[in-house]
Structure 1
Amino acid sequence: MAEEAKEAKEEKRGGSKKILFLVPVLIVLLAGGGGAYLFLFSKKGKKEETAPLPSQVGVMMDLGTFTVNLADRDVDAYARVSITLELSNEKVRQEVDRRLPIIKDAVIDVISSKASSFVRTPEGRENLRLELIKRINTILFEGGVRNIYFTEFVVQTT
């Protein structure tokens, strides 16, 4: 019986050593998990997202394809450009429909005033995009064009 009591005391001591070892391990694991949670789900990470949410995309309207002579003096050049407008709301779409001939005339006027060397560069196309947005927004009263997308852009010189 004395031996059984000794073995019981030794087993109790061994269990307390396990607890003393497991407590710091659990603390480290919980701290690491908490840090990982904060890192992955913090608000800073959400601010860095650059893709627009689907609810932020405006009303899309296909303006058509324009084939326009360019302003080159030494060569004959033309551009074939398909344009889609991103509008702020449905009211603006209705206004664009009412003023479509005026808007198309403005688009032709702006594109035909550019040289082929200008519209062939990314910077030139971006400047053309901004100029078209500004010009079309001066025609509209109900809001405006958020963005212009070139769905086709071909320049040819002869």
Structure 2
Amino acid sequence: MAEEEKEKQGQEEKKGGGKKKLIILLVLLLLLAGGGGAAYKFLVLDKKAQSKEKQAQKIIEEIKATENVGVMFDLGTFVVNLADPDIERYLKVSIVLELKDQKVQQEAQKRLPEIKDAITTLLLTKKSSEIRTPEGIEFLKEEIAKRVNAILPLGGVKNVYFTEFIIQTG
């Protein structure tokens, strides 16, 4: 009987040891899950929050930029022959200048014939292949702004807008 009691006690200890191991494993799993959750929160969710903050900052900057819109000065529509040697092509473009303020607008109004001549002369030198791409159009806008700023004593052209842009084959 003493031997049977010792065997029962050994089996109970084994069962109790198994329960302890199970509890320890569960605690470790909970700690790992908690640590993983915390890591996800700090590493992934914080980056998402930071990117949302950056997007919000960009939107605020765009709003501020639109609040600082200058005076719009409509130059009208230009129709010119392009400099393509192989075929006759025409460009029809309507241009609006964004000027810094009213003083620049008054000066531009005084020098309107000079401005229109400079733009017409520039457009006549362009080939359709140069101005068909978005990059070409942006470059043309920059050239127009530089030429008009050279004519105006104070400068003052902030931006150039094309409200109509058509290239036609003749």
- Structure 2 length normalisation: TM-score? 0.65
3-state secondary structure, aligned to 2:75: strand
2:68 — aligned with what?
Answer: 56
Contact 2:99–2:105 (CA under 8 A) maintained in structure 1: yes
2:94 — aligned with what?
Answer: 82
Alpha carbons of structure 1 residues 52 and 138: separation in structure 2 relative to 1, 3 Å:
farther
1:10 — aligned with what?
Answer: none
Total equivalences in the alignment: 121
Residues 90-130 of structure 1: CA deviation (Å, up to 9, x unaligned): 00000000000000000101111100111111111111000
Residues 118-150 of structure 1: CA deviation (Å, up to 9, x unaligned): 111111111100000011100001231000000
1:114-129 alignment, distance < 5 Å:
114-129=126-141
Structure 1 residue 51, shift from structure 2 partner: 2.2
**Where in structure 1 are there 5+ consecutive unaligned residues?**
1-38
2:80 — aligned with what?
Answer: 68
Question: In structure 2, what is the Cα distance between the partners aligned to 1:139 and 1:43?
Answer: 43
Greater Rg, structure 1 or structure 2? 2
1:91-102 alignment, distance < 5 Å:
91-102=103-114
**Where in structure 2 are there 5+ consecutive unaligned residues?**
1-48
3-state secondary structure, aligned to 1:97: helix
| Root-mean-square deviation over aligned CA pairs | 2.2
Question: In structure 1, what is the Cα distance between the partners aligned to 2:63 and 2:161?
Answer: 15
Alpha carbons of structure 1 residues 152 and 45: separation in structure 2 relative to 1, 3 Å:
closer
Tell me the percent identity: 51
More helix by share: 2
2:3 — aligned with what?
Answer: none
Contact 2:87–2:169 (CA under 8 A) maintained in structure 1: yes
2:6 — aligned with what?
Answer: none
